[in-house]
Every structure is written in structure tokens, then in C-alpha cells.
Amino acid sequence: MPTDIFETRESQVRSYCMNWPATFEKASGSYQYTESGSKYLDFFSGAGALNYGHNHPELRDAVVDYVANDGVTHSMDMKTPAKRRFLETFERVILEPRNLDYKVMFPGPTGTNTVEAALKLARKVTGRQHILSFTNAFHGMTLGSLSVTGNSMKRRGAGIPLTNSSKIPYDDYFDGDIPDFLWLEKVLEDSGSGVDKPAAVIVETVQGEGGLNVARMEWLKALSDLLRRHKILLIVDDVQAGCGRTGSFFSFEEAGIHPDIVCVSKSISGYGLAMALTLFKPELDVWESGEHNGTFRGNNLAFVTAAKALEIFWSDDSFQKELGGKIEELHVGMEKIVEHVNGAYVKGRGFLTGMSFPDPDTAGKVAAEAYKRNLLVETSGPEDEVVKLMPALTVEPEDLQKGLKILEEAVLAATGQMGEPSRLRPPH
């Protein structure tokens, strides 16, 4: 089939299709199918927007039924049965069991929308303008989100100075040589430091785009405690790490913290439909009517699939327990693979994980070799030195093992070691 139109008409800003030139026509579960009939195992999952795989049948049927019955699709922020069902389900299944009392805001359809709303709200509540974020952070591509993002290439795309934010060291940035929050605590307590108190600190518990850097739970707890003492708001960006990707619905649950504001998107719809939430404590709900809005914040198809996904996967702990077993299997498999390369190691948490290589070029070569073998994986990190794995949380055990086997072959090929015996057990 012709592909010229993509080259002649579409902007060169596109990226994923440069490394994966196939034209994908259909998708189901953990697989995508090209229009020429090839089949690819997907360990990318729409950059984390497809935690329950492609076209989950129960979610697909819910969309079809809703559309067939002329359900409202676009509603701005008006009331609809679909929105009511989502809010009631989210309250009952997610918030109440976790003792979380959050107002729910629909800021717009994407991850950067929820971050922008969080930053704006923090400034409005506190009357302060400065935001602190972390080294190697990624929070989105619009100007406010870019201002708290660390990646220099993405920041350059702004075209203007990105102000009113500063970067502070993420967990283990100095390899343990400097105590946690030494600088931050000092300047906050010193009236002569010249550093204005920030409105908020925004943090990812796992830096997905930044190279799969993981914050320790005790580090997150210490950060939360420090900010509370100084009346600074804590924003957790759970856009990629949330909705079960790290093993629990919210990635910060194990730390036992209650962030002031939480950013959620990607897999909250459960079906890859555009949807985002900004969650915040009730006392922070100081918005005036219409002060922050957006044309596409009432995506009722997403409300339908989001409520259904919560009911299917999160109404009890059975899915989370099953996921825990798969996470262990994935990490055991990766640990065996990195033994092939001196200096390589496993990074990340849960199903937001991967392998870092001492030669930054290796990760890109591994991803390319994986694509040749019909496995989709991407890279991340400041130098794209990490192979990043995000299988669907619903991946079948045999497909998980198949992906690991392909990945091992890709690593061996990329490092010139093809022919070595496999260290992984065959798919069962």
C-alpha cells in the first residue's frame, strides 16, 4: 500500500513512525497488525495509554453500544449519565478504598492539560509563582509543562525562555554522596537565602521519559513531609506511572502519602481515548466558574470506557495480585538478559521498566533489532540509553515470555553476541 502521503504531507516532527515504518491497520490485545499482514507484539502500549491492551472486548462493546444508542459524545462540562457513572465508579472503586478525598477536574484531554491545570491551581491557591521540579523530569510539551521539564531538546522547542521554575536533584542524582534535600531544606529555612518559597513541587515517582529513574518510597515520604512543614503543595504527575502501571492504581500508594494534587491521564480511559483528570484536595478548589476550561474536557466515550475498566480491573484486588506475578516474571527475565552485557542493569518499577546500557547507542540498536523481530519497544533517558518496556497489564503469560525471548535475541544481535545460548525458559 502507498505511504508517500506520510512523507510528502505530514510534518517531519513525527517520531515513532520513523523507527517503526509499518502501517498498522488493526490491533487486539498485545498485538498490532499491519495492512500487509504482519503481526507485532506490542511492548509500547501507546506510551502507556493502553494498559489493558488494544480493543479490550468488553470496553469495545461498551463504546459500540453507547454510540449505537445515540449517547452524547461531546458535552463540554455538562451533566451526562456517562459522566455520572464514571464519577460514582471512581469514587467507589478508587478513592474511598484508599481513603483519598479529592475533587475531580476534567482539564482537557491530554497529560499536558492536567499538568497545566495543576500548576495554575497551585499558583492560584498559594499566591506564589515559582514551581520546583526535578532533574530529568518530563511533564508535557506545552509551555507550562515544558517549564518544569528537564529534557534540553524538548525545552528548546519552546522557542522562548521557560521561566518561573527551577530544577532540584531527583532521588540518587548524586549517587548517594549528598543527603536527600540538603539544599532544599537549607534554603527554605534560611531567610537570607534569596530563594523565594515555591508554590509547589511537581514530581514523578518513576521518570518514564527521563530514563526510568525510580524514587524510593522513603524519599517520597521525606519530600512530602518537608513540603508540608513549609506549606508548599506537592503535585504528583502520575500520567504515565498511574492506572496500575507500577503495580498499584496510583504509583505513590506504597509511600503512604496523600499528594495535594495528582495528575492522571493516558490509561484512565482504559481504551486509548483522550481523557485526563486533575485531582486535588477539596480545600484547594478555589476556581471561579469557567476560570479553566477546554472544549474537549467532556469526552463521554472515554467516561464510558473508564468506568467499565475500573469495574472490570479494580473492583477488588484480584487483578492487582495477578499483575504482581507478571511484574516479578518480567523483572526476572530482564535480569537474565542484562547478564549478557557488562555494565547493563534493570531500571524502573512494575510494568514501567527497562534496561540501561553503558554505551548509550546500544539501546537504540536493541530497539531496532526488536522491531526486525516484530516486537515494539522504545528508548528513553537523556541519551536514549535505556530500552523501555511497557507491556499491557493484561498481557498473556506466553506473550510476556515471547517478548522477553525476542528482547534477548535483540540484545545479543545489537552487541554482536548472536549464537550464544538462551538464558530464558521457553514460552509455556
* Surface-to-core class of residue 64, CB atoms within 10 Å of its CB (0-12 exposed, 13-18 middle, 19+ buried): exposed
Q: Which of the four pLDDT bands, split at 50, 70 and 90, describes residue 427?
A: very low
Residue type, 293: N
Q: What average pLDDT does the segment 221-233 reach?
A: 97
C-alpha cell at position 253: 500508594
Give residue 426's Cα distance to chain centre: 30
pLDDT of 271 strictly over 60? yes
The candidate with the shortest Cα–Cα distance to 299, out of 93, 63, 64, 95, is 63
Length of the chain: 428
Q: Scanning the structure block, which residue is given the C-alpha cell 510534518?
A: 11
Distance CA 112, CA 25 (A): 28
Q: Which of the four pLDDT bands, split at 50, 70 and 90, describes residue 428?
A: very low
pLDDT score at 182 = 87
3-state SS assignment for residue 272: coil
Q: pLDDT averaged over the chain?
A: 95
What are the b/e assignments for 344-379, b being 16+ CB within 10 Å?
Answer: bebbbbbbbbbbbbeeeebbbbbbbbbbeebbbbbb
Express each pLDDT in 272-318 by its tens digit. Answer: 999 999 999 999 999 999 999 999 998 999 999 999 999 999 999 99
Q: Scanning the structure block, which residue is given the C-alpha cell 546500544?
A: 362
Q: Going by C-beta distance under 8 Å and a sequence separation of 6 or more, which residues neighbour residue 193?
A: 186, 187
pLDDT score at 421 = 56
pLDDT of 2 strictly over 90? no
* Surface-to-core class of residue 343, CB atoms within 10 Å of its CB (0-12 exposed, 13-18 middle, 19+ buried): exposed
Express each pLDDT in 173-203 by its tens digit. Answer: 988 888 888 888 988 888 788 888 999 999 9
Judge whether 420 and 412 are in contact, CB under 8 Å: yes
Does 422 or 336 have the greater pLDDT score? Answer: 336
Q: Scanning the structure block, which residue is given the C-alpha cell 500500500?
A: 1
pLDDT score at 423 = 61
**Enclosing H/E stretch for 302:** helix 300-314
Give this prediction's pTM: 0.95
Residue 71 CB neighbours (<10 A): 16
pLDDT of 425 strictly over 80? no
**Quick one: what percent of the chain has pLDDT higher than 70?**
98
pLDDT score at 126 = 98
Distance CA 348, CA 208 (A): 8
Which DSSP state fits 177?
A: S
Distance CA 149, CA 211 (A): 13
Distance CA 45, CA 342 (A): 29
Q: Which of the four pLDDT bands, split at 50, 70 and 90, describes residue 78?
A: very high
Question: What spatial distance separates the first Cα and last Cα of the chain, rounded to whole Å?
Answer: 36
**Angular region, 101: left φ>0, alpha ψ -120 to 50, beta rest:** beta
Q: What average pLDDT does the segment 230-245 reach?
A: 98
The pairs formed by 28-35 with CB atoms below 8 angstroms and a separation of 24 or more are 28/53, 28/54, 28/55, 29/53, 29/54, 29/55, 29/56, 29/392, 29/394, 29/395, 29/396, 29/399, 30/54, 30/391, 30/392, 30/394, 30/395, 30/396, 30/399, 32/376, 35/1
Residue 94 CB neighbours (<10 A): 19
Distances (CA, A) of 250 to 133, 180, 239, 303, 358: 20, 24, 10, 19, 31
